[in-house]
Amino acid sequence: MSMKNTALPRIEVLRAQIRRGDTTHKALVSRALAGAELPAARHVFTRLHADAALAAARHADAALKAGVQLPPLAGLPLSIKDLYDVAGETTLAGSVACRDEPPAAADAPVVARLRQQGAALVGKTNMTEFAFSGVGINPHHGTPHNAADAQVARIPGGSSSGAAVSVALGLAVAGLGSDTGGSIRIPAALNGLVGFKNTQARVPRVGAFELSRTLDTVCAMARCVDDCLLVDAAIADAPLAVRRRPAAGLRLAVPQTLVLDGLDTTVAHAFDRALQRLSRAGVLVESIPLTELAEIGRLNAPGGFSSVEAFAVHRQRLATRRAEFDPRVAARIALGEPVSAADYIGLHDRRRDWIARVETRLQGFDALLCPTVPMVAPPIAALAASDDAFFRANGLLLRNTFAINYLDGCAFSLPCQAPDELPVGLMLSSVRGDDARLAAVALAVEAVLEGEGA
């Protein structure tokens, strides 16, 4: 059922190959641009930046030949989600309702920082319209097919759909995306990648098309934890001070409320295997109630942050161009229209109280542990054909990941499936500002899973 992983080697391995002369930056970028035109990559990119990417690659090759020590991302192909401003281009955010709007006057700060690192930005990737869904279906620009199954066209996950498939197909070493309710971790989990949702305040959101100013997070997915950390260091303009540690002695909490409900068979088996491997490696895995997770639906009503804040962003567009919206996206945005200022302030007050209570509950643990999403990627056709099936799947895909956005926390999704299974994600999460310590935990857990052939 599952395809052989076509992702590029880890950045460390690629850099070694380039230093040995086994390949060049230009060859890697040329291969990525050629791959972007193949049928498997249909709908992955909304725009290619071939000339600029090749220029960055040639510059890196010349600098390396001259003995210059290159930054880690220099000359390597990266993709950019189509909600980040690129100077001279209209930022479409997966829609057609914005196509007549003015072009961006400048690169978003995160795009500028990647350019300063010398990264070869191969193009903008497709996404759920306005980033408002965890499924990844886009009726305007087409839906990228999940790279893990050659026989069945499965959803890529969203909203960073093209970002994930670009990495899974080996067209980029990393995909810059965003995460408001799981939009990095969901597609990473469904495509067998690592996704890192940092604490929101770590990376500037200027120049990123807004969905929810309260929840939006600028982050990326890649082949492994180390590669995610390299991209995070570039876009945050400061590396995390990660102190590596062994897995033995880690104390991980598995919540028994909500996040384990309704797991499909593949996810349940993969999660159980992961727990067994971690326990054998000396990790202390403890079940905790964390009943606060069951409160989120009530506390986030009416409308929820995403609907209320997205309506503020799109009010004028909805009034004049609603027919051009994905109807499913327009319906979710419209839920924010009747919410009063008093109700909106109440959302913030309840969230602050909830965060404080959950942070207290998690003291003494190195991370929370649960499946990233409760299912493997379902077929596109079934969800495209039925609103009921679409919204049911969307709710399940977002259920576990959204809790960490609501917490203003940080999280990694790591692949934990067996070689003959569709991808399954294992999510490690912690509280806001704990990114460096969580990264050390993720590196240790990743080593255990890979060491035992997960």
**Residues annotated catalytic, as ranges:** 81, 159, 183
Place of tokens 């408001």: 180
C-alpha distances in angstroms, 63 versus 46, 74, 145? 31, 10, 37
Place of tokens 């498997």: 40
Buried b (16+ CB within 10 A) or exposed e, 207-238: bbbbbbebbbbbbbbbbbbbbbbbbbbbbbee
Q: Where are the alpha helices (DSSP H) in 337-413?
A: 341-361, 380-385, 387-406
Helix 304-321 vs helix 341-361: crossing angle, to nearest 10: 150
Place of tokens 């609103």: 387
Phi (first) and psi of residue 303, to 5 degrees: 80, -55
Distance CA 107, CA 335 (A): 32
Peptide bond connecting 302 to the previous residue in cis, omega within 30 degrees of 0: yes
Distance CA 62, CA 429 (A): 41
Distance CA 91, CA 238 (A): 27
Q: Which two tokens stand for residue 45?
A: 């990119």
Q: Helices H, strands E: what count in the chain?
A: 15, 11
Which residue type occupies 161? Answer: S
Q: How many CA atoms does the CB half-sphere of 78 hold within 13 Å?
A: 34
Q: Which two tokens stand for residue 252?
A: 């991980």
**Closest by Cα among 42, 264, 40, 268 to 143:** 42
User: 255, 290 in Cβ contact below 8 A?
Assistant: yes
**Closest by Cα among 278, 104, 325 to 207:** 104
Write the DSSP string, 165-190: HHHHTTS-SEEEEE-SSSTTHHHHHH
Q: Which two tokens stand for residue 117?
A: 């690192």
Distance CA 150, CA 153 (A): 7
